[in-house]
Amino acid sequence: HQSNELASKRIIISLGGTLSPIDPVRYIGNRSSGKMGWAIAQAAYHMGAQVDVVAGRTSISLPKLGDRMTIYRVQTTQDMYETINQLFDKSNALIMAAAVADFKVTNYADQKIKKVAGQEQINLQLEPNIDILKTFGEQKKDQLTIGFAAETQDVIENAQQKLTSKHADLIIANDVSQSDTGFNADTNKVTILRPGYDPEPWAQDTKQAIGVKLMQLVNSMLKK
Ligand code: PMT
């Protein structure tokens, strides 16, 4: 499906997982494959948009689809924030499909941590990272800011709270407690939350199909 409905639009899509390094060889990570965000990026591209993909660690490859797509590779949440910050003013929408590490290791070790005989515990100290979606939600001019909410319980309530606290225009609530939805699956089941609208559950479908449907919704919101 090719069209040019988004021909004059520039869309930032974050995907994959950001990492919290512990030492030069180890990190805390998460299970995001990048599949959901990549499905959205493909849909946006095929609708004619200029697409900026800001990718953390992914388990899929991200073949650049053409000149209208730029792929930025980042590691930490701070890197992801700084990359998006360079792009945000020129963009029409930011879609945060990435699983963003909420914490960074404050006692990062410059050298590889050694196993010491007899040592029973190693303590990692964590401090909060910047909330990217919230930061841009507060700063935006006419951009749409869109996030996911990965939840294992009280999915709609928790997602509704994120919609408000992050000043988002759309939250895609994602039940990640089942193996055929959420992290790494090829299918997903989502509910769409928008300020002033009732929650809209979408039928379980492939991430590809959900990506297309989501970009059609974003297109209709950008026209307003
Ligand atoms: O990559 P896949 O394997 O296909 O899996 C897809 C997915 C489950 C990772 C994806 O659909 C998803 O739900 N991504 C968001 C995961 C997440 O971090 O959710 P959250 O509820 O912790 O965060 C809410 C929103 O704020 C998200 O849009 C997140 O990108 C954003 N966020 C979170 C923390 C932070 N410090 N900065 C952020 O911008």
Say how many C-beta atoms besides its own lie within 10 A of residue 197's C-beta.
Answer: 9
pLDDT band at 8 (very low <50, low <70, confident <90, very high): very high
pLDDT per residue over 59-113, tens digit each?
Answer: 999 999 999 999 999 999 999 999 999 999 999 999 999 999 999 999 999 999 9
At residue 78, the pLDDT reads 98
At residue 193, the pLDDT reads 98
At residue 2, the pLDDT reads 86
Interface predicted TM-score (ipTM): 0.98
At residue 174, the pLDDT reads 92
Q: How far does the centroid of ligand 1 lie from the alpha carbon of residue 101, in Å?
A: 9
Decide if pLDDT at 1 tops 80: no
As beta bridge partners, residue 70 has 52
- Structural domains of the chain sorted by starting position, each given as residue range(s) with its CATH number in brackets: 10-106+124-223 (3.40.50.10300)
223 is an annotated ligand-binding site residue: no
Q: Above pLDDT 90, what percent of the chain?
A: 92
162 is an annotated ligand-binding site residue: yes
Q: List the one residue out of 211, 168, 175 whose CA is nearest residue 190.
A: 175
189 is an annotated ligand-binding site residue: no
Q: How far does the centroid of ligand 1 lie from the alpha carbon of residue 158, in Å?
A: 13
At residue 224, the pLDDT reads 78
At residue 181, the pLDDT reads 87
Q: 19, 76, 100, 127: which to mutate for ligand 1, most atoms within 8 A of CB?
A: 100
**Averaged over 31-38, what is the pLDDT?**
97
At residue 179, the pLDDT reads 86
Ligand 1 site: residues with CB under 6 angstroms?
32-37, 77, 96-100, 102, 129, 131-133, 147-150, 162, 174, 176, 182-184
Decide if pLDDT at 177 tops 90: no
* CA-to-CA separations, 12 to 43, 71, 108, 170, in angstroms, rounded: 13, 10, 30, 15
pLDDT per residue over 210-223, tens digit each?
Answer: 999 999 999 999 99
SS3 for the chain is CCCCCCCCCEEEEEECECCEEEECCEEECCCCCCHHHHHHHHHHHHCCCEEEEEECECCCCCCCCCCCEEEEECCCHHHHHHHHHHHHHHCCEEEECCECCCEEECCCCCCCCCCCCCCCCCCCCEEECCCHHHHHHHHCCCCEEEEEEEECCCHHHHHHHHHHHCCCCEEEEEECCCCCCCCCCCEECEEEECCCCCCEECCCEEHHHHHHHHHHHHHHHHHC
Q: Is 30 a catalytic residue?
A: yes
Atom index in ligand 1 nearest the CA of residue 31 equals 3
**Averaged over 149-172, what is the pLDDT?**
96
Mean pLDDT of the chain: 96
At residue 27, the pLDDT reads 98
pTM: 0.97
**Averaged over 9-16, what is the pLDDT?**
98
